[in-house]
């Protein structure tokens, strides 16, 4: 099966399987620009669905959208010392603002950079927008009445990566970045935590991904943050994928850009900040969490097409009958808010259609042949497996809604079971190394925070601290670090990660 | 009034009035990057509303969204000879992919372009995406079964402009660009015309702008197009604003990127193309079309807040009563799908609130004081003028819906009247010059197509051919060009334009 399908089996080559699923599902394609991908319509629709649901959640929590320039003066980056360390090495730099074209004797046109059009100060393409946004906040914030300022931006950003992988790590990617400004420290911390919970809920309820929310270790913090919160998802190979982050930035950017406000007590004070973001990487998370050896599997919440109806006929008089039935089914499901499509192309055979729609992750397929019409029901198959079964036209919307809801729950349950069954507890570093090598997965350990030790573990095992999971930080008395034997400061999850 | 308001009168300084309306309405702000603006939340919301409505129209006409990289290899631009001429001079050029940072003896961090990180081939930031998209179409199109390909992209683009003006012309701007591929010439022409009509309908029904759809003269065509269609809007000063374009690209990009398909007859043939776009410039069009000397006026269809309810109280026991009434009103209107907001901030006086919301273009203001509550109605004022009047709580939703619908129609009617009353017909160039100088506006003339003459007229009067309006090209027998006296080939609209 997998051999003919053009999709590698997961157990044979997980990395290649991922790329195959993307290609066969027509989700993305490589572009002529190194590290940049094209989001094909089906892949873009997945991001758009996420965007739509997230945007609603952001608005419900009081945020508004805005748009800031994607170019940032080079000098801005150096205003926050840690920030520049984090991003200087991966910036796309604009140095000129014009090309000049020449035509040779054969009429062939060529272009080159116009040396007379050099910018006085180079610009970088935003790798993230803290600097330019805090420059603007300096203009907009003057009084406690201007706070809090709760702004989100949907945008493209660029980080020049050497090793790229579709969705997971690309030079340009799409994301949202929330940037909020607050009068009080507590309020900013609360905001950073609130958005972590928004992401956690969204991942669970919309993506059917049971992420673990937690705090990053000092070494894994965002460049410029005081604390970084993260949601971590387990992929089917047992690796972790950092799927979203929320940062409490303290007053670092307010200091760097001199953003103060007049407090209610009449004093000038520095503003407190957060930022938080998720990106098209989440599309990769969904693919890796739910798909199988046949191709893409999508949670019904985010499937652009939830149900495909495929009319099947041989003779012309049959065609009329099956199309009529398919249309009735289509109308009923559509009226119930189900995303449904009738695939009545006559240039392609039914088998090829099944093949195509399976690879695109359509949740439910309905086959409608002359015999099905007579029986008054559509011969159906769930993308997640099981035998084919009839769905009567009468009451179909309700039946389908039930199937989709169940599928959503099943996918979340399956992913949760995988995560839990592959999350292990170990007491010693020796155990950890052996088990990680043998069976992979995540490891919950008692840990004494220590950046040097963290680096050493990474060098030896390629595993890193994914997070200090929230709600699990009340350590038993006497808990000691699995690595150093020192008194434990945290419960940490160690794992290989993308 | 206008003197205190911080907004110039239109008749005194139309250009400054425009900038004042934007500043006072908090629509946009200047950024630290020359020519780039920040879309503040209220301004961004206007674009978002347009995007939402347009996206629906695109989907209804069979299009899907995708996303292509914003970086384009420099050499791509030169593949289509006219295209490079049109865009080479205004490209942002990426030449390096890394900065390096240094820290001086005082701990001060600075950054510079890393000379070791020069790109082999410079990249440009897309000024428009025909080249990279047609490169990808070459990979995706092989058979007539792959056609038509109807893709749209929502994106940011960059055109390095010397003179910029918020919304109307900025270095970076947001837009959508449709790019379609067809097996047949007729089908591509039809598509270009279909999208022109989509834009025309959208402008009329959503923006309340009575644009004139037409064909561009050869000199004003998009670089690389065979024909360019345009919608032209008249601003309140009588100038024209090109508000959207749709291009029939012939086979120019298919040739440049070698994109062919196997026809039903089994032959390899070149693919036909269209592209079409509108941008954040439309926000400028709305501002300039509907606003007045007090500030922003918005058509109800696109107002982020249609109704603001302002509770007014002096004593605490009054507060409770007015807030209760305001909340009831709010709930009723919200339930009817009206975008309503209760402004119950107690740090700001009612007068300041009126001031603020007028400048933000809220369609209807409701004042709710203790006496209003007693009378069971809200004391209301339309943004477009007229006396204050009561709106009873009972049946308020219906009343307000009616007011908003009327306002939408009034704004369109007013703009149509302006356009028609300031569109003149002249027979001679002398008349044209005199009248244009005296009273501005648009001029419908018989015209013999001639690029040199067009240039000459532009030099002498600054007026250009805005379009050859559709539906007005059946010329009377013997019609002669107003400029050259030669037999007329078109009816043209000449005007000053942004």
User: Which residues in chain B are contacts of A123 at CB distance < 8 A?
Assistant: 33, 92
Instruction: Return the pLDDT at A4.
Output: 67
Exposed, middle or buried: residue B338 (CB in 10 Å: 0-12, 13-18, 19+)? buried
Tell me if B70 and A40 make a contact (CB, 8 A cut-off).
Answer: no
Instruction: Return the pLDDT at B210.
Output: 98
Angle at A48 between CA A43 and CA A51, to 5 degrees: 135
Instruction: Return the pLDDT at B4.
Output: 67
User: Which residues, including other chains, have CB under 8 Å from residue A101's CB and lie 6 or more apart?
Assistant: A109, A110, A111, B78, B84, B85, B88
Minimum CA–CA partner of A170 in chain B: B69
Q: Which of A146-150, B81-85, B251-255 has the lowest mean pLDDT?
A: B81-85
Tokens of B272: 């036909």
Tell me if A81 and B109 make a contact (CB, 8 A cut-off).
Answer: yes
User: Which residues in chain A are contacts of B84 at CB distance < 8 A?
Assistant: 99, 101, 109, 111
Tell me if B95 and A100 make a contact (CB, 8 A cut-off).
Answer: no
Residues B331/B293, Cβ–Cβ less than 8 Å:
no
Superfamily of domain B423-495: C-terminal domain of ProRS (3.30.110.30)
> In whole angstroms, what separates CA B464 from the centre of its chain?
20
Q: Regarding predicted confidence, which is higher, A319 or B5?
A: A319
Matching residue, tokens 């970086």: B71
Q: How far apart are CA B184 and CA B27, in angstroms?
A: 44
Residue-by-residue pLDDT tens, chain A, 498 positions: 444 678 999 999 999 999 999 999 999 999 999 999 999 999 999 999 999 999 999 999 999 999 999 999 999 988 888 888 889 999 999 999 999 988 888 888 889 999 999 999 999 999 999 999 999 999 999 999 999 999 999 999 999 988 999 999 999 999 999 999 999 999 999 999 999 999 999 999 999 999 999 999 998 999 999 999 999 999 999 999 999 999 999 999 999 999 999 999 999 999 999 999 999 999 999 999 999 999 999 999 999 999 999 999 999 899 999 999 999 999 999 999 999 999 999 889 999 999 999 999 999 999 999 999 999 999 999 999 999 999 999 999 999 999 999 999 999 999 999 999 999 999 999 999 999 999 999 999 999 999 999 999 999 999 999 999 999 999 999 999 999 999 999 999 999 999
CA distance A440 to chain B (A): 35
Tell me if B41 and A151 make a contact (CB, 8 A cut-off).
Answer: yes
Has residue B82 got a pLDDT over 90?
no
Matching residue, tokens 């497996």: A385
User: What's domain A8-95+125-290's architecture?
Assistant: 2-Layer Sandwich (3.30)
- Which pLDDT band holds residue B2 (cuts at 50, 70, 90)? very low
CA distance B38 to chain A (A): 5
Instruction: Return the pLDDT at B103.
Output: 87
User: Which residues, including other chains, have CB under 8 Å from residue A218's CB and lie 6 or more apart?
Assistant: A449, A451
- Which pLDDT band holds residue B107 (cuts at 50, 70, 90)? confident
Q: How far apart are CA B320 and CA B342, in angstroms?
A: 14
Tell me if B33 and A90 make a contact (CB, 8 A cut-off).
Answer: no
Tell me if B78 and A155 make a contact (CB, 8 A cut-off).
Answer: no
User: What's domain A305-405's architecture?
Assistant: 3-Layer(aba) Sandwich (3.40)
- The three-state (H, E, C) secondary structure of chain B, written as one string: CHHHHCCCCCCCCHHHHHHHHHHHCCCEEECCCCCCEEECHHHHHHHHHHHHHHHHHHHHCCCEECECCCEEEHHHHCCCHHHHHHHHHHCCEEEECCEEEEECCCCCEEEEECHHHEEEEEEEECCCCHHHHHHHHHHHCCEHHHCCEEEEEEEEEECCCCCCECCCECCEEEEEEEEEEECCHHHHHHHHHHHHHHHHHHHHHCCCCCCEEEECCHHHCCCCCCEEEEEEEECCCCCEEEEEEEEEEECHHHHHCCCEEECCCCCEEECEEEEEEEECHHHHHHHHHHCECCECCCCHHHCCCCEEEEECCCCHHHHHHHHHHHHHHHHHHHHCCCCEEECCCCCCCHHHHHHHHHHCCCCEEEEECHHHHHHCEEEEEECCCCCCEEEECCCHHHHHHHHHHHHHHHHHHHHHHHHHHCEEECCCHHHHHHHHHHHCCEEEEEECCCHHHHHHHHHHHCCEEEEEECCCCCCCCCCECCCCCCECCEEEEEECEC
Q: What is the DSSP letter of A97?
A: S
Q: Does A381 touch chain B if contact means CB atoms closer than 8 Å?
A: no
Tell me if B32 and A123 make a contact (CB, 8 A cut-off).
Answer: no
User: What's domain B2-96+125-290's architecture?
Assistant: 2-Layer Sandwich (3.30)
User: Which residues in chain A are contacts of B348 at CB distance < 8 A?
Assistant: 145
Cβ within 8 Å of A, B 240-279? none
Residues A364/A306, Cβ–Cβ less than 8 Å:
yes
| CA distances from residue B134 to A8, A180, B140, B185 in whole angstroms, order as listed | 30, 40, 10, 17
Instruction: Return the pLDDT at B99.
Output: 95
Quick: pLDDT tens for B358-399: 999 999 999 999 999 999 999 999 999 999 999 999 999 999
Has residue B297 got a pLDDT over 70?
yes
Instruction: Return the pLDDT at A1.
Output: 41
Has residue B459 got a pLDDT over 90?
yes
Q: Does B28 touch chain A if contact means CB atoms closer than 8 Å?
A: no
Minimum CA–CA partner of A94 in chain B: B94
Q: Looking at residues B1-30, what average pLDDT do you find? A: 90
Has residue B294 got a pLDDT over 70?
yes
Q: How far apart are CA A225 and CA A150, in angstroms?
A: 18
Instruction: Return the pLDDT at B83.
Output: 83
Per CATH, the number for A427-495 is 3.30.110.30
Cβ within 8 Å of B, A 440-479? none
Tell me if A38 and B67 make a contact (CB, 8 A cut-off).
Answer: yes
Q: Does A37 touch chain B if contact means CB atoms closer than 8 Å?
A: yes
Tell me if B91 and A99 make a contact (CB, 8 A cut-off).
Answer: yes
Where do the H-state alpha helices sit in A91-184?
Answer: 130-140
Query: ipTM score here?
Result: 0.96
Global pTM? 0.96
Minimum CA–CA partner of B117 in chain A: A89
Q: Looking at residues B214-229, what average pLDDT do you find? A: 95
The full set of domain ranges for chain A reads: 8-95+125-290, 305-405, 427-495
User: Which residues in chain A are contacts of B74 at CB distance < 8 A?
Assistant: 99, 111-113
Q: How many CB atoms are located within 10 Å of the residue A235 CB? A: 24
């Amino acid at each position: 099966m997998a051999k003919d399908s053009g999709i590698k089996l997961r157990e044979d080559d997980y990395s290649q399987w991922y790329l195959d699923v993307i290609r066969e599902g027509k989700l993305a394609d490589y572009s002529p620009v190194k590290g940049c991908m094209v989001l094909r319509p089906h892949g873009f629709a997945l991001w758009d669905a996420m965007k739509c649901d997230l945007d609603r959640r952001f608005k419900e929590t009081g945020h508004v959208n805005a748009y800031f320039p994607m170019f940032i003066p080079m000098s801005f980056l150096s205003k926050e010392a840690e920030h520049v360390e984090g991003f200087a090495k991966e910036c796309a730099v604009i140095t000129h603002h014009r090309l000049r074209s020449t035509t040779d004797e054969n009429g062939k046109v060529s272009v080159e950079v116009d040396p007379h059009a050099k910018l006085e100060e180079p610009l970088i393409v935003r790798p993230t927008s803290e600097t330019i946004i805090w420059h603007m906040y300096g203009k907009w914030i003057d009084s406690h009445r201007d706070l809090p300022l709760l702004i989100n931006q949907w945008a493209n950003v660029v980080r020049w990566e050497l090793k790229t992988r579709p969705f997971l790590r690309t030079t340009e990617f799409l994301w949202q970045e929330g940037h909020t400004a607050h009068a009080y420290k507590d309020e900013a911390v609360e905001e950073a935590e609130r958005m972590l919970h928004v992401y956690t809920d969204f991942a669970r309820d919309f993506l059917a991904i049971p992420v673990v929310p937690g705090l990053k270790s000092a070494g894994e913090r965002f460049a410029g943050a005081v604390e970084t919160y993260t949601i971590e998802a387990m992929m089917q190979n047992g690796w972790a994928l950092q799927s979203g982050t929320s940062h409490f930035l303290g007053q670092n950017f307010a200091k760097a850009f001199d953003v103060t406000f007049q407090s209610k007590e009449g004093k000038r004070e520095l503003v407190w900040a957060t930022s938080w973001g998720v990106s098209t990487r989440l599309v990769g998370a969904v693919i890796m969490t739910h798909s199988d050896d046949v191709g893409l599997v999508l949670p019904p919440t985010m499937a652009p097409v939830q149900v495909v109806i495929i009319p099947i006929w041989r003779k012309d008089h049959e065609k009329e009958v099956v199309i009529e039935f398919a249309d009735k089914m289509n109308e009923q499901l559509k009226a119930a808010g189900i995303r449904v499509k009738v695939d009545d192309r006559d240039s392609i055979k039914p088998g090829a259609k099944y093949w195509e729609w399976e690879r695109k992750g359509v949740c439910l397929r309905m086959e409608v042949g002359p015999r099905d019409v007579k029986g008054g029901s559509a011969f159906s198959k769930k993308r997640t497996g099981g035998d084919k079964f009839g769905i009567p036209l009468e009451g179909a919307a309700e039946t389908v809604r039930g199937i989709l809801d169940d599928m959503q729950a099943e996918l979340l349950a399956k992913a949760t079971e995988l995560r839990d069954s592959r999350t292990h507890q170990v007491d010693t570093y020796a155990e950890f190394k052996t088990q990680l090598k043998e069976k992979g997965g995540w490891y919950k350990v008692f840990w004494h925070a220590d950046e040097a030790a963290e680096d050493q573990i990474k060098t030896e095992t390629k595993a890193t601290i994914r997070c200090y999971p929230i709600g699990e930080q009340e350590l038993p008395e006497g808990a000691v670090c699995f690595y150093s034997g020192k008194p434990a400061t945290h419960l940490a999850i160690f794992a290989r990660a993308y």
